[in-house]
Chains A and B, each alone.
Chain A
Amino acid sequence: MQFTDAMHLLVIGLAQGSGYALVALGFVFIYRATEIVNFAHGELMMLGAFAVLTFAELWGLGFWLGAAMGILSLGVFGYALDALVMRRVIGESQSSIFILTVALGVMLKALAGMIWGYTPLVLNVPFQGTVDIGGMVIATNRIAVIIGTVLICIALYLFLGRTRLGLAMQAASQNQLAAYYSRVPVKRLISVIWAIGAMVAATAGVLMAPVTQVSPEITAIGIKALAGAVVGGFGSIPGALLGCLLIGVAEPFLDYTYPPLQGVYAYAIMLVVLLVRPEGLIPQTFRKKV
């Protein structure tokens, strides 16, 4: 493999990893607040991409307006999902809740297939074409994924640390009962957290759309993001992001080395990491207080 080829794969990998990281950001965010692992987050991402596609292309609103409306509508969807479904199963066993989110994911995927079909659709984005960095020609949309991820991470970080709502969220995820006593509207707050998680996922869907196109099959990114988050350590946001980047970068190189197992290396890496270092590369575990 030539050096420039390797660099090229690296950039592709970083872009891919950023996409996973963005999806992971959404569900780690939800997990930290509610201890619910949303196995349907890849489906939320797919739904976001479809929503934007519908507004931007089918309704002809153009990319930016379409993206804004699509992402917002996913926010509403996330809020409703928590308020109408997830809130009902508080107190059920963990395993039941996992199964529920998977079932919801299957429903959403099937529903998307019924509405938009299974042929990959093209979403036209403004960041097309290529840029030349030091003699290396790279597609702009890959750079856009990386930059978009960094921006959203910074925005979320500022939001959590600097705004009233963000601080209330942190309080609620540390101790729900205490937050409730301090007059934090915990239930509504958790729905807002779901809304933000869904909006981040939708953004990931839009940013990834030029690379993956839009079809029900892109939900697989959600599972890879889960794998990345496990590799990095689920409890911490930086860990999860790092794990996703790692998986994203490793994938293209491994696909290149031994193509027959193309597309499943993310899972293989995760299983190996779990066998060697079960707590993830950056451990941070929560235990229940007794």
Chain B
Amino acid sequence: MRTLFKTSYGFDIDHLVDPGERIRVGLLIAGALALPLVLSGYALSEMAMFLCYALAGLGLMVLTGFSGQVSFGHAAFLGLGAYAQVWFLQRGVPFLVALVLAGLIAGVMGAAVGRAASKMHGFYLAIATLAFAILVETVIGAAVPLTGGHMGVSVPPITLFGYEVQGGWQTYYLYLAVLLFFVWGVANLKRAPTGRAMVAVRDSETSAQSLGVNIARTKITAFFASAFITGVAGGLMAHQLYYLSPETFGLGESLKLLLMIVVGGLGTISGAIIGAVFVTFLPNAIEILRMVLPSGIAHQVGLEPFLFGAIIAGFIIFEPDGLYGRWRKFRLFLETYPYYKRATFTRQKRYLKTGRFR
């Protein structure tokens, strides 16, 4: 394994000090920038959608990956963001301001849900998010004057400083810029006190508390940040959907977001991006699968959710670190060959330390 000699404390704090990592991230960004040269039209708008999902996944990653709180209804924040974005744009609010406001609305709602369950065991929060998502879907459907109900509402185009942003490469670059900004911000958060407090709460609430971490406040902050980012993703996604209706942001969509972060790898920023790539290509893979499978199964409505569930369950049972974890293991294998030992990554099985008292 390479050893990196660090010469100052600043070195520890800076992003991407490892030259190899710097090259990889640089190549990735260069590739993303060059994409419009290769792709066109439809493919590029698919890529814009991918960027929205990556951003939404990044949001959920802050909550579930960093602070260890599960949200089964994160698509609700996507929906809140999307509807808020449209509502503000219809009233002549400039695009970027509307986007921030959309994020804020989702964030504040998220903080409220987080507050409701922050003092309790993690599963209260999980159930609360599930209930919240079902409620939001129904309320959006019922609040016809505000949202157009189940008839739906059409999305105005993006105007940036008086200039109308066309679909295709212009939208793509705009979304890429937003995503990179948030990736940078979340990476910052991770190396700062609040991000560390989140990880501390995830790994041991008791000792986090004894070191001065306010658990309730940390969970609420995590929820706010997470819902904010997902709300912004929803605002962006609205423009790709052209037409919003409440069913778009149902439980199936929440499941998709969960699938992303589990498959990508819980707890890492790269995991969110890798998961988004996976989800973007999944429909194509399912199409191919449909051709292979016997027609009795291939045309079942349940095939897609079944596969979603199976993929999530499979990853949690067999590869809890996700694809990113797999890649890290592979890299370590190459770097330490022939000294690689499987034991490096064996999981410790710990039996339930109950010792509970009433």
Contact = CB atoms under 8 A, between A and B. Distances in A.
Q: Do chains A and B touch in the complex (CB under 8 A)?
A: yes
Interface of A: 34-35, 37, 39, 85, 88-100, 102-107, 109-111, 113-114, 118, 173-177, 223, 226-227, 230, 234, 260-261, 263-264, 266-268, 270-271, 274-275, 278-279, 284-290
A88 B317 contact: yes
Contact of B301 (A88, A105, A113): A113
Given A104-B313, A110-B303, 13 more contacts: A85-B317, A89-B316, A100-B316, A100-B317, A106-B305, A175-B354, A226-B127, A234-B123, A267-B130, A274-B116, A274-B128, A279-B119, A286-B356
Contact of A288 (B115, B300, B320, B355): B355
Contacts of A264: 134-135, 138
> Which residue, A110, A118, A288, has most C-beta atoms of chain B within 10 A?
A110
A104 B317 CA distance: 11
Contacts of B350: 90-91
Interface in B249-269: 255, 258, 262, 266
A285 B119 CA distance: 11
A107 B317 contact: no
B120 A95 contact: no
Contact of B309 (A92, A104, A266): A104
Contacts of A268: 131, 135
A263 B354 contact: no
A111 B123 contact: no
A274 B119 CA distance: 10
A40 to B, nearest CB: 10
Interface in B333-358: 347-358
A173 B138 CA distance: 39
Contacts of A285: 120-121
B132 interface: yes
Chain B interface size, as a band, is 35 or more
15 contacts: A85-B313, A90-B351, A91-B351, A95-B69, A95-B70, A95-B266, A99-B262, A102-B258, A107-B309, A113-B300, A113-B302, A177-B355, A227-B127, A271-B132, A288-B206
A176 B351 contact: yes
Contact of A99 (B312, B349, B352, B354): B312
A114 B305 CA distance: 11
A94 B135 contact: no
A129 B190 CA distance: 63
Given A106-B305, A271-B116, A93 B358 contact: no
Nearest to A106: B309
B85 to A, nearest CB: 24
Nearest to B124: A230
Given A96-B320, A100-B316, A279 B134 contact: no
Contacts of A100: 312-313, 316-317
Nearest to B358: A284
Contacts of B353: 177, 288-289
A185 B128 CA distance: 35
Given A91-B347, A99-B316, A261 B138 contact: yes
A109 B305 contact: yes
A271 B320 contact: no
A223 B64 CA distance: 21
Interface of B: 64, 68-70, 72, 112-113, 115-124, 126-128, 130-132, 134-135, 138-139, 142, 202, 206, 255, 258, 262, 266, 297, 300-303, 305-306, 308-310, 312-313, 316-317, 320, 347-358
Contact of B354 (A35, A39, A114): A35
A289 B357 contact: yes
A234 B121 CA distance: 10
A173 B262 CA distance: 30
**Closest 6 pairs between A and B when the two form their complex, measured CB to CB:** A267-B131, A110-B302, A106-B309, A107-B309, A110-B306, A103-B312
A287 B317 CA distance: 27
Given A264-B138, A267-B132, A274-B128, A289 B68 contact: no
Nearest to B141: A260
Contacts of A97: 316
Contact of A92 (B297, B305, B316): B316
A255 to B, nearest CB: 12
Nearest to A34: B352
Nearest to A274: B116
Nearest to B144: A260
A274 B123 CA distance: 12
Nearest to B350: A91
Given A107-B310, A287-B357, A278 B122 contact: no
A177 B142 CA distance: 52
Contacts of B132: 267, 271
B131 A227 contact: yes
Contacts of B120: 274, 278-279, 285
A219 B127 CA distance: 15
Contacts of B255: 102, 106
A270 B117 contact: no
Given A261-B139, A274-B117, A114 B72 contact: no
Nearest to A289: B355
Nearest to B210: A290
B306 A95 contact: no
A94 B262 CA distance: 14
A223 B134 contact: yes
A286 B138 contact: no
A90 B352 contact: yes
Given A35-B352, A118-B301, A286-B358, A93 B309 contact: no
